[in-house]
Each structure stands twice: as structure tokens, then as C-alpha cells.
Chain A
Amino acid sequence: MFARGLKRKCVGHEEDVEGALAGLKTVSSYSLQRQSLLDMSLVKLQLCHMLVEPNLCRSVLIANTVRQIQEEMTQDGTWRAVAPQAAGRAPLDRLVSTEILCRAAWEQEGACPAPGLGDGHTQGPVSDLCPVTSAQAPRHPQSSVWEMDGPRENRGSFHKSLDQIFETLETKNPSCMEELFSDVDSPYYDLDTVLTGMMGGARPGPCEGLEGLAPATPGPSSSCKSDLGELDHVVEILVET
């Protein structure tokens, strides 16, 4: 559990590395947890397409939550569009089936990375902690769906996904989904204290720590790398089916 009430400027003294790291842990903890909430929400949106028509109220509330997270991530700068390098990986997009909701989850996996891609928002210690591989970059195009000036196609695809959430879809192949999201673990109890800890003055939640910091940075590189592995796995499944 992260240390509570810890307010650290991200640009800390070199000697106080431990303190700085602890502060960073708070920050990336929050981002990770927020990311997890996003994952969870997207899974929920997808899994609600069973035999019976999905509960529209629930879907709307979850979709609104997703939007909120995305907006915050956009403001933080953790959800950014990436330029033309994307082109090489575009075919990946085609490989993904017309299951738009799978793509939605896809997109947020791409949201993980990259302070190092020249956005100018990085801070010293942080970028050291999260080295970026070029392989991660191409996953951004999908994420640009959330940007105002994102590629038209991607925006369309996301809107289409919400559209399909609200209009009734035919039952998707359930096993595909299960395989896709079998790795979404749920140690979400941590989320309780982090995310709901934003509420109420009594609890010094991560938000207060975050306000004093530069825009939140993505999680540690290890999760990015594992995402990459998952990506291949997922593509494999989809292509085979």
C-alpha cells in the first residue's frame, strides 16, 4: 500500500531518492489503479452482452465512467495521439475483428506507454524509470480516438463501439472474450482506498499528492512489456477464430 499523505514534488533532490521514489510510487500507483478501473469498465461493457438484452442504465453509467477516466487521462497527458509511425502497425487494426469492444480494450492497452516519445511532458526521474520501446508506439493510433483531433477512422471506431453498446448487438463469441480477458486480474481492493480515497477531506488520498506533481506518468515498464506479450497472444486468438 502506498504511503498516505505523502506529498512529493516529482523533481526531487537526488539524495532523497527513496523519498522521491516513494512519491513516484504514489503517482504511478494512482495511474495504474486508474488504468485498472478503465480495464474493468471496458470488460464490463463487453461482458454485458449475454443472451438477454443488456441493461442500458448500467451500460450508460459504465460508459460515462470510461469517458471520465479518458478525459482525465487526456488532461494528464497520459493519453496521447501519436503520429505517423503508427502507419506501419495499422494492419493490426484490420486483423482485429469487427468486435469493436475488443478493440476498445485493445486501445486502452495501448494507453500504457510512453513519456519518452517526445511530448515534452516528462520529468527527469520518471522517464528513467519507464524506458520506452519503439514497439509500444504504434498502439497509440487507437488511443487517439479520444483526442479531439484524432484520426477520423479511429474516432469513428470508438463511437461505433459505444453505438454498438447501446444498440443491441447479437451475441458475440463468448469464448473469445474470456480468453481475451482471462488475464485481467482483479486485485481491486487496492483500488478502493486509492480511488474512493479521493473523496472526503478526512482522507489524504492520492489526488492530493497528485496535485503537487507534474502530469501523471504511466506505470512501470514491466507492465508495458507484459502488455506487448498479451497483445501478440490476443492477435493470435482473434486471427485464428
Chain B
Amino acid sequence: MNYPDENTYGNKADIISTVEFNHTGELLATGDKGGRVVIFQREQESKNQVHRRGEYNVYSTFQSHEPEFDYLKSLEIEEKINKIRWLPQQNAAYFLLSTNDKTVKLWKVSERDKRPEGYNLKDEEGRLRDPATITTLRVPVLRPMDLMVEATPRRVFANAHTYHINSISVNSDYETYMSADDLRINLWNFEITNQSFNIVDIKPANMEELTEVITAAEFHPHHCNTFVYSSSKGTIRLCDMRASALCDRHTKFFEEPEDPSNRSFFSEIISSISDVKFSHSGRYIMTRDYLTVKVWDLNMENRPIETYQVHDYLRSKLCSLYENDCIFDKFECVWNGSDSVIMTGSYNNFFRMFDRNTKRDVTLEASRENSKPRAILKPRKVCVGGKRRKDEISVDSLDFSKKILHTAWHPSENIIAVAATNNLYIFQDKVN
């Protein structure tokens, strides 16, 4: 695969914490640590500029969440955007959900290219006029104006999570969505903000007995009654909401038996699942743990059908990675539109792609120094031991502060968005 076209949108003050294309791929949203959302829109392809194939430009920027202070617990609530999920477009406006640790918000992003002029009670600057001075009445008219994109919060879903929200997922019925924190999952109706249904609760009666938390959750893309959630012990549970109101009992339980030869004090930590994603087809789920990406068939619970090594050379470094906390990094994973390729991030600004059909994989780097616009990305290689070839990088030279946790893949085309700390990279496939 060639990914020659690269646009870098850098210099964001804050670290990007989530990236998501909308359902058509026309829009790309990013959330950052400062609580801001930036939406990019793809340029319409013009006949004049054949070579500039639909670049993404900033469409809207708004402050989604602000830092808060929980006075009861004397703790700050971070404004960092943990996840953004788009709703399918149903009219001219775009809707997305954005969430921080505690509060989910529904935002409406709409364009305004006309404005009313000629109010009776207000003057041109908007100041109220003294009614006594009005001698005639007129009908306000809509006049064209420069395109303005505005974002307005339409719903605020608050006070439903004691623990930190890690996932949100829009249901295929488009009427409900779920939000998951470390111990509970709640189901919401978009229209109702003061109430949510608790559908999963794994909080033990005695918190001393807590040994497992929920790490991610997602609705099935087609079956509105089905969802999955993953845990810190490397398990995935599939639940059917028709079975009971509280889905504490799963319908399916996915777990791979542990390899006894690989057992160490870090086994559990590296088995903790950081992300779970249904394939577009709805037949498979993909999970990401610290060292691997796994593909599971929904019909086979006892082991994954495919396992891909992301950076197995880190296996001998686990203690150092535990010490510097890198072992707790939560990498995400994504499917391409046809479910034939999966992608996930790594360290040193590397990201990896695995072709499920050809079984080929590639390591690419998202960095300014190594890519110029429209340059073809060169595959990278990490040298594990012995002699290092010229272009290879040795494990000890990897920069663990440069981690790619968040990536996104256009729903139908080979366009990917890669967040490298506070830079966003967009790569497009060169067809010819």
C-alpha cells in the first residue's frame, strides 16, 4: 500500500485524545486534552485540481467540555475528551456525541449562510430600541452572509457515572446510545437527559473484592439489542438486552486460555483489553491488548481466529514499561471499510497495519521529519537483536513518549487519520 498524500495539521496546544470519521467520511472530528473539538471537512474534488484529491480543512472548532471540580470528593474532573461518536446524518445538520470522564454531550454542528436583517425591536448591532421611537414596522428578511459553522450543545447527559467514562456507542436504532465507565454501563435515550438505564453493573458489594474493570464497550452495528464489553482481564462479554434489563449475565463470553509458558507477573496487565471494535459486517470483533491485536469470530468463544503481534519486541522490556507506566497505555484499533485491513498504533510514532487476507503487515511512521506532502511513506522496521541494518531502528532507541494511541479509517476509502501526540496526520492512498 502506498500512502503518499499527507497533510499535517500540527501545532495544537493540546494532545489529541480521540479521532473519528463520520459515517460518510466527509467529516473528521478530533478531541483533545483541553476539552476542544476540532472538525475537519473534506474538500469537494474539483475538476481543475485533479491532483488535490479532497484534502481535509478545518470546518469547526469549539470548546466541548470545561474542567470541573467535584467538591464532594475534592477532585478535579478533567476536560479531556475521551471519545467522540458521530450520529448518522438525518438532515442538514451534523450531530456528534463527545464525552469526558463524567459527562456526555450531544452537539449540533450546522451551517449558517443567511442571517435575518431588519428587526423592529433591535437595531443593527442588536441593541434594543426604545419602542416609543418606532414609527414603522417591517418584515425582517434573510440576507446571505459568509458561511458560518456553529456548534451548539443540544443535550447534556450528566451525573450518571461515578467512575470514569471510557466508551460511548451509538445504537443502530439511532434513538439510544450507551456510555460505559469502569464498573457500569448506562443506556440513554437521546431525548432524555435526566434518566438513564443501567444495563451492566460489575461493582462488587465490597470494593475490596474488586479485581476487574470494564475497559471498552460497543453496540453491534446492526443488531440494536446486542453489545459487547471488554475487561481488564482480557475477556469480552457479549450481551443481549432482550434477555433481561440488567445484563450482568452475558450471552457469550470470549476468552483465550493463557499460555503457561508465557506467564509472568505482567501477564494480566498485558492481557487487559484497551479497545474493542465490531467489524463493519458485524461478524467479528477486534480487541487490542498491550502487545497484540486479536480478531474474534462471534461464533467462537474459546479463542480468537487471528492474532497479530504489534510490537512483540517489547515483551522482554515489560518491567521497564511497568516502571514508566507505558504498560498502561491504551491503544485503540480500527478496521478499514471492507474489514480486510486492521490498524493500530505503537511507540516512536509508529503505527501498524495488518492485511487479514494476504497476512502481510507494515510499520509506518507519522512524523514531520520523515514525510513531506505527497511523499510515499517508507515502511519502517524495528531491529530486535544482532546486527542493525541501515534503516532499522533498535528497540532501545524507540521513543516511548511518542505513542500513537488513536487512529481512524475512512468508512469507504483508503484514507487514515493518525494522531501523534498533538499532531494529526492524514494519509491518503494513491490509486494511480
Mark A residues whose CB is within 8 Å of B: 34, 37, 40, 44, 51-53, 55-58, 60-61, 63-65, 68-69, 159, 162-163, 166-168, 170-171, 186, 188-189, 191-201
Nearest-neighbour CB distance to chain B for A193, whole angstroms, equals 7
The reply to whether A65 and B213 contact each other, CB–CB distance below 8 Å, is no
The reply to whether B317 and A65 contact each other, CB–CB distance below 8 Å, is no
A-B contact pairs, 15 of them (CB 8 A): A34-B265, A40-B322, A40-B323, A53-B101, A55-B328, A61-B272, A64-B268, A168-B75, A171-B74, A189-B319, A192-B320, A195-B319, A198-B263, A199-B261, A199-B315
Contact for A196 among B183, B215, B319, CB less than 8 A: B319
Residues of B with C-beta under 8 A to A197: 316
Contact for B261 among A55, A58, A68, A201, CB less than 8 A: A201
B203 nearest CB neighbor, chain A only:
A166
Nearest-neighbour CB distance to chain A for B30, whole angstroms, equals 22
Contact for B207 among A65, A166, A196, A201, CB less than 8 A: A166
B125 within 8 A of A: no
Chain B positions 233-277 with a Cβ under 8 Å from a chain A Cβ: 261-266, 268-269, 272
Contact for A57 among B77, B213, B262, B323, CB less than 8 A: B213
Nearest-neighbour CB distance to chain A for B56, whole angstroms, equals 32
Q: In whole angstroms, what is the CA distance A44 to B208 when docked? A: 18
A160 nearest CB neighbor, chain B only:
B208
The reply to whether B210 and A166 contact each other, CB–CB distance below 8 Å, is yes
Residues of A with C-beta under 8 A to B213: 56-57, 60
Residues of A with C-beta under 8 A to B70: 53
Please classify how large the interface on chain B is, using the bins under 10, 10 to 19, 20 to 34, 35 or more. Answer: 35 or more
Residues of A with C-beta under 8 A to B232: 57, 60-61
Count A-B contacts at CB 8 Å.
110
Q: In whole angstroms, what is the CA distance A201 to B261 when docked? A: 6
B211 within 8 A of A: yes
Residues of B with C-beta under 8 A to A69: 265
B78 nearest CB neighbor, chain A only:
A52
User: Chain B, 270-287, contact with A by CB distance < 8 Å: what is the 0/1 string?
Assistant: 001000000000000000
User: Chain B, 60-85, contact with A by CB distance < 8 Å: what is the 0/1 string?
Assistant: 00000000001001111110000000
The reply to whether B73 and A64 contact each other, CB–CB distance below 8 Å, is no
Residues of B with C-beta under 8 A to A166: 207-208, 210
The reply to whether B207 and A199 contact each other, CB–CB distance below 8 Å, is no
B164 within 8 A of A: yes
The reply to whether B215 and A57 contact each other, CB–CB distance below 8 Å, is yes
Mark B residues whose CB is within 8 Å of A: 70, 73-78, 101, 163-164, 182-183, 207-208, 210-213, 215, 232, 261-266, 268-269, 272, 315-320, 322-323, 325, 328
Q: In whole angstroms, what is the CA distance A139 to B4 when docked? A: 64
Residues of B with C-beta under 8 A to A191: 319-320, 323
Do A188 and B320 contact each other (CB < 8 Å), given the known contacts A60-B213, A168-B75, A196-B315?
yes
Q: In whole angstroms, what is the CA distance A40 to B265 when docked? A: 13
Q: In whole angstroms, what is the CA distance A37 to B322 when docked? A: 9
A201 nearest CB neighbor, chain B only:
B261
The reply to whether A60 and B263 contact each other, CB–CB distance below 8 Å, is no
Residues of B with C-beta under 8 A to A55: 164, 328
B232 nearest CB neighbor, chain A only:
A57
Best-surrounded residue of B73, B77, B319 (most CB of chain A within 10 A) = B319
Q: In whole angstroms, what is the CA distance A58 to B163 when docked? A: 13
Q: In whole angstroms, what is the CA distance A198 to B315 when docked? A: 11
Residues of A with C-beta under 8 A to B316: 192-193, 196-197
The reply to whether A168 and B73 contact each other, CB–CB distance below 8 Å, is yes
The reply to whether B207 and A167 contact each other, CB–CB distance below 8 Å, is yes
Do A60 and B211 contact each other (CB < 8 Å), given the known contacts A193-B316, A198-B264?
yes
Contact for B264 among A58, A168, A170, A199, CB less than 8 A: A199
8 further contact pairs, Cβ within 8 A, besides A64-B211, A199-B262 = A53-B76, A56-B182, A57-B182, A57-B213, A60-B213, A61-B268, A171-B74, A192-B320
Residues of B with C-beta under 8 A to A65: 265-266, 268-269
Residues of B with C-beta under 8 A to A37: 265, 319, 322
